[in-house]
Structure 1
Amino acid sequence: MKQNTAFIYVVTLVATLGGLLFGYDTAVISGAEKSIQAFLIDSQGLSSFLHGITVSSALIGCIIGGIISGILSAKYGRKNALIIAGILFLLSALGSGNPEFLFFEKDTPTMGLLWMFNFYRIIGGIGVGLASAVCPMYIGEIAPAEIRGKLVSLNQFAIIFGMLVVYFVNWGIAEGQTIEWINKIGWRRMFVSEAIPASIFSILMFFMPESPRYLALKQKNDKALSILTRINGAEKAKQVFEDIKSTVQASATKAKIFSYGKKVIIVGILLSVFQQFVGINVALYYAPRIFESMGAAKDASMLQTIIMGLVNVIFTVVAILTVDKWGRKPLLITGSIGMAIGMIAISVLAFMDIIGMATLVFIIIYTASFMMSWGPICWVLISEIFPNKIRSQAVAIAVAAQWAANFFISSTYPPMMEFSSGGTYLFYGIMSVISAIFIWKFVPETKGKTLEEMDNLWNKE
């Protein structure tokens, strides 16, 4: 019996629905953001700081979800953690679209309603934080080493595809409608639309297998071997199972987070922080507003956002096709250089007060560079660099750091832009340069290595 490729891809595709929901939930705000501002912020004369907090409030939940992902995935399993994430996505979709439910009068903006809207967005954010940590970990623990990079990268493709889908959904809802209708009804439909993929994901995950490495950690050896056999075939499964058992023998006593030294944890955290400090989510969350500031009309700005989404999908496919051939480090360094060129050029144009097609071209260069490198490859590395015994804890720390960095960058964007747009983009460009140096100096290449070989990758202190 050979490797069961069909089974591997079915499990991966169902798991990547969590990634699709991650993308959908984080990008749905881009179409609804100006309506939320009109309905809940401007109508009450509130500040740009509260606007920034409201746009990025889901990220507070993402930090919480990242932190608790280690506890949930270690105690209840990777599969059950993903089911919980799906249920949270569903609750958030319904609540964000109708925040007045039970407690408030319909269409009457108050501070209480603003906080209730943010509460529902935070619930969805917890789902995103869970999915962002557990999806790549689950796929990485099921995937054979030689195609692990490709399969984990599919999760990033699903994230970007989810963003692209919601750009089309938002555009379709807003198309041909008045601003008044969008500000009253349209933004609600944008949020509620997420309930459909959330329901599908939650149901399908019930039928998926648990991670064999999680089962081995819990001493459920027969179940672990059974799933490994279904994935790899009987002969290879026994070999993989023995490798797994050799790395989890000491797990009878709980492994400490620094069992393999501090460097592996610091590298994981810095991978996460750099992925956000290069400024990608500013481009994603505020895309329509950025294009409008460049002189595009409302409909054109939404269309340009869709074009950017298509570019993102295409260049994520480039990463999927090359990550297991070229390796992780070359792609990350190349992407960092491309992002630096894009952001520094946008900064120069902003300082010269030049707005036009050149700005759009450099935004596309920047986002394409990110999508072929830091977008998918950061998640690949986070899912694989940590040894088996500390993976769930270490991934939780790295992902929580990522969402904390994401929240900082997204919520500071409006006040930074008020101070200096050119300086804001220059900061992201400098971060891109530093990220390239970090990868070159400190991150090991993991192409083709089994998860069990990660034990030997880091010298114990």
Structure 2
Amino acid sequence: MARYTTLYLSALIAGLTAALFGYSVGFIGGIIVLPSFLSHFSLSTLPPSALASTQAQIITSWLVGALFGVPLGMPFCSRFGRKGCLFLAGGLYVCGAGMQLLDFGIGGFKVGRALNGLGVGVGTLGGPMYISEISPPSERGMLMSSYQTILQLSALAGFWGAFLSHSSFPSSSSLQWRLPTAIQLIPGILLLLGACSIPETPSFLAGKGREREAERSLVSLRGVRGEEWMVEGEMQEIRDAARVSSLVRDKNVPFSKELLKPGIRKRLVVGVGLMIAQNMVGLNALNYYAPVIFMSAGFTSVSSSLFLTGVFGVVKLLSAIAFMFVFVKIRGNRFWLPLGSSLCGVCMLFLAYFVHKIPPANQLGAVPHWLGEAKLTLGGVVSVLTVYIFAFSFSVSLGPISWNVCSEIFPLHINAKCCVMTTCTQWLFQIVIAYITPQLLTTIGWGTYLIYVLFCLLTTLFVFFSVPETRNVPLGREMDSLFDDKKDIDEEEEMEEESETTLLLKHGQRERRGSLGVYT
């Protein structure tokens, strides 16, 4: 494993895009309710409806920025490489953090959040794509799962950072909100510096005709300098895929025509379907509104609901680590996806039942003093445990695997464009969930969880019938064989033969020109 040092370091740096994502989600909910923040931006004097609207705009501006950041990153991924995409993500994120710290009023803070979102959106496109393209099949599952682990770790740091800042600084000190906000600069600057030092992906370099650079990159990532023969087979597969992609580009095949191919449609159905499922089974509803949900389960004090929300983050982090190092190596995607989705559905069903049955009164006893003034009910305890089981089930299935699959199944020549479609789907449905969840909880209450039960069931059926096993499958021809029909495969083989013939003809022409030059 020591020879994979460059590989692991490069994956870690690309994984910092997940830190941008996670910390932005984790800290903002605590920041926008801090007394120092409300006072600094003159929000404490607003009526409740206006304050709620401003807080919603701060959160929504970030989500919208992330949605538009994905297509913004696509031309950088295609023209300047995956490294260029990572550098852009870090730059936008750092600029956004700076805008939030400077005194431009609440409008400037919103603009900073939108820039943050743009950087995160670019990162969610480039980060997983980079990790997937540098990883050997045997390590790809673990390295791709590191993305989810870093996301959960940074989200947890963001939540507890805001929590501790509130406890450590007086409300009169601007450090109470500035310090957690300034911490955003750390992962952003590390990503900027790291993107300058890591190698570009061999697939991108080969696709641009820079085969010598691709070979050097692959040798560095595999740690076999001086033993280049060990990667000859892998390099040949990269060359073959790049030649097919080059021929497709030379023929100017429009993306709309590519979408008509059955194999590409199947891949997009899988990718888009998994990203929809990842949001619609209910995890992001818990992410954004966990304190409200814990209150509805009987833990009515703010301190108790916030504490339980922090534990919720710990459970997600430990589950992501367990998947990365243990579960991903035990069984494949087609085992964990339906199992996790089914367990999520069962958890939502239990949550609906107990939230429906919990009476406002009839408390069974007081909880420990560190949970504040909340009262303990049997249904409330079971509901909280159910939320934690849901978090575990999601974090070993849809959470990491959706990103893994979307970053590895598409052909090289349209990988960036297809990943834009799947990643935009992810952000679009995050916006949908953030918008509809509070309205559902207000109007139909416990029935909200039954809606998520239905989507969990649909996800299980979708995975069973549509998602093939991609674990340990090499990128290129073997991945194509999982999705493409015989006609598409025959066309690719013809393109490879055409590519080899073209190369031989060019080589012969160069030899003839060289001979002519000798005799004249």
Same fold (TM > 0.5) = yes
| Residue 109 of structure 1: aligned partner | none
Give aligned-pair identity as a percent: 26
Query: What are the Cα deviations for residues 92-135 of structure 1, in whole angstroms up to 9, with x where unaligned?
Result: 2232344x42xx4xxxxxxxx3x543322121111111111211
Equivalence for 2:84:
80
Aligned equivalent of 2:148, options 141, 150, 156 = 156
1:279-298 equivalent positions in 2, closer than 5 A: 279-293=282-296, 294-295=298-299, 297-298=301-302
After superposition, where does 1:199-210 map in structure 2 within 5 Å? 199-210=189-200
Alignment of 1:367-406 (within 5 A): 367-406=391-430
CA distance in 1, matches of 2:230, 2:404: 23
Alignment correspondent of 2:65: 61
Partner of 2:343: 338
In the other structure, the counterpart of 1:238 is 232
Match of 2:482 in 1: 457
Provide the TM-score with structure 1 as the length reference.
0.90
What residue is the counterpart of 2:332 in the other structure? 327
C-alpha distance in structure 2 between counterparts of 1:161 and 1:328, whole Å: 23
Letter in 2 for 1:19: A
TM-score (norm 2): 0.80
Moved more, 206-215 or 257-266: 257-266
Question: Residue 441 of structure 1 corresponds to which residue in structure 2?
Answer: 465
Distance change (3 Å), C-alpha of 1:362 and 1:33: farther
Trace 1:8-407 onto structure 2 (pairs within 5 A).
8-35=7-34, 40=43, 43-44=46-47, 45-46=49-50, 51-98=55-102, 100-101=103-104, 104=105, 113=106, 115-175=107-167, 180-181=171-172, 186-232=176-222, 233=224, 234-252=228-246, 253-254=248-249, 256=255, 257-258=258-259, 259=261, 260-293=263-296, 294-295=298-299, 297-320=301-324, 321-354=326-359, 356-407=380-431
In structure 2, C-alpha distance between the alignment counterparts of 1:436 and 1:360, rounded to whole Å: 24
Cα deviation digits, residues 252-302 of structure 1 (max 9, x gap): 342634254322112211111111111212212233444355425434333
CA apart distance, 1:53: 4.5
Structure 1 contact 173–186 (Cα < 8 Å) conserved: yes
- What is the Cα deviation at residue 231 of structure 1? 2.6
Residues 4 and 230, structure 1, Cα contact 8 Å, conserved in 2: no
CA deviation after TM superposition for structure 1 residue 435, in Å: 0.8
Distance 1:6 1:281, change over 3 A: same
- List alignment gaps of at least 5 residues for structure 2: 360-378, 489-520
Query: How many Å separate the matches in 2 of 1:3 and 1:161?
Result: 25
Q: Is the CA contact (8 Å cut-off) linking 1:52 and 1:414 kept in structure 2? A: no
Change (3 A) 1:371 1:338: same
Shift of 1:409: 0.6
From the superposition, tell whether residues 140 and 288 of structure 1 become closer, same or farther in structure 2 (CA, over 3 Å): same
Tell me which structure has the larger Cα radius of gyration: 2
Could you tell me how far apart the structure 2 residues matched to 1:228 and 1:146 are? Answer: 15
For the Cα contact (< 8 Å) 1:79–1:205, is it kept in 2? yes
Letter in 1 for 2:204: Y
Amino acid at match of 1:220: R
Query: Any idea what SS the aligned residue of 2:469 has?
Result: coil
Per the TM alignment, residue 351 of structure 1 is displaced from its structure 2 partner at its CA by: 2.2
| 1:347 to partner: Cα distance | 1.6
State the AA in 2 paired with 1:347: A
- 3-state secondary structure, aligned to 1:43: coil
| Counterpart Cα distance in 2 of 1:229 and 1:61 | 37
Displacement of 1:40 in angstroms is 4.4
Q: 1:47 to 1:20 in 2, by over 3 A?
A: closer
Calculate the aligned-residue CA RMSD, in Å.
2.4
Higher relative contact order (CA 8 A, sep 6+): 1
Unaligned runs of 5+ in 1: 105-112
In 1, the alpha carbon distance for the partners of 2:431 and 2:357 equals: 29
1:321-371 deviations in Å (ceiling 9; x for gaps): 222430111111111011111222112222224562222111101111111
